[in-house]
Structure 1
Amino acid sequence: MKRRTFLKVAGAGGASAMLAGCTGDGGGQQEPTTTTESGDSTTTTNGTTTGGGNQVLTVATYGAFVDAPSSSPGVWLKQEFESEFDATLEWQTPDAGVNYYIERALRGVESDADAYVGLDAQMLVRIDEQLDESLFVPAEGLSNLGDVNEELEFDPQGRAIPYDTGYISLVYDETQAESGTFTAPETFDGLLDSEFEGDLLCQNPTSSATGQAFLLHTIDAKGEDGYLDYWAQLKDNGVRVLGTWEDSYTAYSNGEAPMVVSYSTDQVYAKESGADLAKHQIRFLNDQGYANPEGMAQFADAANPSMAAEFMDFMLRPEVQAEIAVRNVQFPATTTAELPADFAEYAKAPPEAVTFSYERLKGNLSEWTDAWAQEFASK
């Protein structure tokens, strides 16, 4: 593949763009959208009570958690939480994701939110690298904390508590073959075979959480000294690097390539929407999937810290964990959630989960992604 073509689809975004939300892109610092219910009482945008006397809990997250076109947990969580607690739950969804709150902290401006939903280890490392004081505080008093799968815990300081996890894998379309059935390779090395030239769509690791997870998996597979050479070989074999997961999955859905880097729960949504499962096959390269747990944390300057803790504990309840998993099409973070049979059948877990710890990422993540950008997005 010619360099010009590769760079056109890869883009030239800097690594700082990854400070955006888990499924969103970086953006400007416009005010976030706040979602609440209209009624007789007047709701504040940054206060702690409404005119009706009940408390206001402001929770920041990425947009798809609240308003995904398929299904998303946000509306259901708001209804369930408000039905039990004397509180109004407001969602904030700035386009820039958590970067919006980092910029506020850098300017000495309060966050005006109580909790954040949608952190991962990579984001947490970048936050800590940019701020002298922590944006979040350790979670305290959570009765359901012991139910969290220890293998998914990624914050050694106990601030970000996992609430779900996804596994990054290949999704491929068996029907995209000139003759016979298309079958994805089984290994990272197999992606370099000439028979798969131009067949892979992936995401820019400097602007996509999914793309960054795939980059980290290649570093695990090929080592710090070999991953850039591996990406050079991928480029020579015609890999297309698009900006976001949405960009690449749309291209895949349009039949532009038979393979895309995505999530191993892909068949869950495909089954629900009546899609042909032959177009949604899962491949774990090297029999591995990169685990990318999402976490929630309380802002250090939360106006309503006690209610934020109540909300986080609520998120870890078995029935809530199961509902989040189904609606967010991810795996639960706790060991107590009972998933519906059809979800458990179509959500694929890898034989082996791979992930980098906070300690492994700290001091290395920016170097790795910057090196990738310099080699493949800056020339």
Structure 2
Amino acid sequence: MRMHSTTRLAAVAGAATLALTLTACSSDDASDAASDGASDTVTLVTHDSFNVSPEVLEAFEAESGLTVEQVAPGDGGALVNQLVLTKDAPLGDVVFGVDNTFASRALDAGVFEPYTPEGLSDDAAGLVLGDGALTPIDMGDVCVNADTDWFAKHDLAVPTTLEDLAKPEYADLLVVTNPATSSPGLAFLVATVGAFGEDGWEDYWASLADNGVKVVDGWEDAYSVDFTTSGGDRPLVLSYSSSPAFTASDDGTTTSTTALLDTCFRQVEYAGVLAGAENPEGAQQLVDFLSSTAFQEDLPGQMYVYPVDPDAALPAEWEKFAPLAPAPFEVDPADISAHRDEWITAWTATVVG
């Protein structure tokens, strides 16, 4: 869940590492900090779609005295892979963007140092993972989205269910993301496991493959390249229930897309302090910031996800165009942990070959 178009709702996967310095300290400052045994720089490892309003980040930096640098290895799946591969020499101090479908992989690898901010809401506290190692920051429903203008122009009914997507009239219209590299892609795979069960989900994906589903590595490719609203040729795309708020008209009265709320899986994104961090104190302050009201209320407009703090204010258009699914598909987290790799392998054999 993530900047839309330039914001996420989920995210590009890639093996390459992109280091983006949001602000930089001088070498003299760095030397002074090192001589004091502390650092005024904290490095955030995150997915490619992380975004925050400059004024919100600047306020945190001014108050804390910290400079935030960002390292982005890719989408959520690539992010977790890199965290595990570099656990003995971590890429930074703190991570944001590990979600509930990939979290157990990083937890099992011992990537995090337990830390939980004080004052979390009851809702957020109930989502904490790994004995305090991962703090929930945002949530959103991964769902198929439809370009309603395209369907109206082609005199074709908008599909509503997972089963509809495999019907002949929707052949070659859907683009999804690879669950091996994309956290939304994995969330959607898990949704189909929840919908069709262990004995039926592979057959369902075989029917999607026969119906011409297109698979790309990450959300950015799917939404910003292949989706018809971006000039592509696929009017059905895997995205988020909040995405239609992004395509709302300037006056906020209409939107050109809709989320299929009967196709959803609820995704939660987490932050945590990395074990072996060079600046663990700064990392804790950054996790506190990500949990703060200022950042929580900035989330919807920057990454098109819901804050986990139920008291955080939401943009007005979200009430009209960005509803959460009333009954998203569910799979026990223990089952996801136990079978995730097996499911991805079976999915790859079925869909990619």
1:208 corresponds to: 182
CA apart distance, 1:167? 0.8
Q: Distance between the aligned counterparts of 2:322 and 2:70, measured in 1?
A: 28
Which amino acid is 1:63 matched to? D
2:84 counterpart letter in structure 1: I
Correspondences of 1:283-298 after superposition (within 5 Å): 283-285=260-262, 289-298=264-273
Alignment of 1:185-196 (within 5 A): 185-196=159-170
Structure 1 residue 233 displacement after superposition: 1.3
The match for 1:368 among 340, 343, 352 is 343
Cα distance in 1 between the residues matched to 2:72 and 2:195:
35
2:137 paired residue number: 163
1:103 aligns with 2:91: no
2:23 aligned residue: 37
Structure 1 residue 38 displacement after superposition: 4.4
Residue identity matched to 2:42: L
- Please report how far the alpha carbon of residue 23 of structure 1 lies from its aligned counterpart in structure 2 after TM superposition: 2.0
Change (3 A) 1:340 1:274: closer
In the TM superposition, what is the alpha-carbon distance from 1:74 to its structure 2 partner?
Answer: 6.3
Q: Which residue identity lines up with residue 100 of structure 1 in the other structure?
A: Q
Distance 1:54 1:366, change over 3 A: closer
- 1:307 shift after superposition: 2.6
1:245 to 199, 205, 219: 219
The question of 1:118 aligning with 2:97 is answered yes
Which residue, 309, 312, 323 being the options, matches 2:287?
312
- Unaligned 5+ runs, structure 1: 1-20, 66-71
SS for the counterpart of 1:149 is helix
* CA deviation string 1:250-302 (max 9, x = no partner): 211324122111111112222377899553122112xx521111110001112
Q: How far off its partner does 1:22 sit?
A: 5.8
- Residues in 2 aligned to 1:344 and 1:41: alpha-carbon distance in whole angstroms: 47
- Structure 1 residues 148 and 282, CA, compared in 2 at 3 Å: closer, same or farther? same
Q: 1:219 aligns with which of 190, 193, 202?
A: 193
Within-5 A mapping of 1:53-64: 55-64=40-49
Q: 1:58 to 1:233 in 2, by over 3 A?
A: same
**d(CA) in 2 for partners of 1:225 and 1:195?**
26
| CA offset digits 1:320-362 (Å, max 9, x no partner) | 2011222111111112211232333332211123343432211
In structure 1, the partner of 2:6 is none
The partner residue of 1:356 within 327, 331, 336 is 331
Query: Does the aligned pair in 2 maintain the 1:214–1:290 contact within 8 Å?
Result: yes
Give the 4+ runs in structure 1 shifted more than 6 A: 272-276
Cα distance, 1:230 vs. partner? Answer: 0.8
Distance in 2 (CA, whole Å) between partners of 1:370 and 1:56 is 40
Deviations 1:2-56 (A, max 9, x none): xxxxxxxxxxxxxxxxxxx96231314x5x51414346664549x96599x9722
Q: Which residue of the partner structure matches residue 135 of structure 1?
A: 111
TM-score (normalizing by structure 1): 0.79
CA–CA distance in structure 2, aligned partners of residues 103 and 158 of structure 1: 22
Moved more, 194-203 or 350-359: 350-359
**Displacement of 1:187 after TM fit?**
1.8
**SS of the residue 2:248 aligns to:** helix
1:191 and 1:369 map into 2 onto residues whose CA distance is 20
| Cα drift, residue 61 of structure 1 | 1.1
Percent identity over the alignment?
Answer: 26
1:235 aligns with 2:235: no
Instruction: State the secondary structure of the residue aligned to 1:353.
Output: coil
User: SS where residue 295 of structure 1 aligns?
Assistant: strand
Query: SS at 1:175's partner residue?
Result: helix
The residue number in structure 2 matching 1:256 is: 233
Q: 1:27 matched to which residue of 2?
A: 15
Amino acid at match of 2:52: P
Q: Which amino acid aligns with 2:345?
A: D
Alignment-derived partner of residue 352 in structure 2: 377
Pairing partner for 2:322 from 334, 341, 347? 347
Deviation per CA, 1:124-169: give whole Å up to 9, x if none: 223345x3xx1102224x2232354356x26243211111112111
Letter in 1 for 2:136: P
Residue-pair matches, total: 338
Counterpart CA distance in 1 for 2:242 and 2:40 is: 36
Task: Work out whether 1:281 is the aligned partner of 2:258.
Answer: yes
Distance, in Å, in 2 between the alignment partners of 1:259 and 1:186 is 11
- Name the counterpart of 1:18: none
Distance 1:205 1:48, change over 3 A: farther
Match of 1:12 in 2: none
Q: Is the 8 Å Cα contact of residues 321 and 337 (structure 1) preserved in structure 2?
A: yes
Per-residue Cα deviation, 1:88-131 (whole angstroms, up to 9, x for no partner): 222222345343332222xx4x21521101111222223345x3
Q: Which amino acid aligns with 1:258?
A: P
Taking structure 1 as reference, are residues 317 and 23 closer, same or farther at Cα in structure 2, changes over 3 Å only? same
- Contact 2:10–2:49 (CA under 8 A) maintained in structure 1: no
| Coordinate RMSD, CA, aligned | 3.0
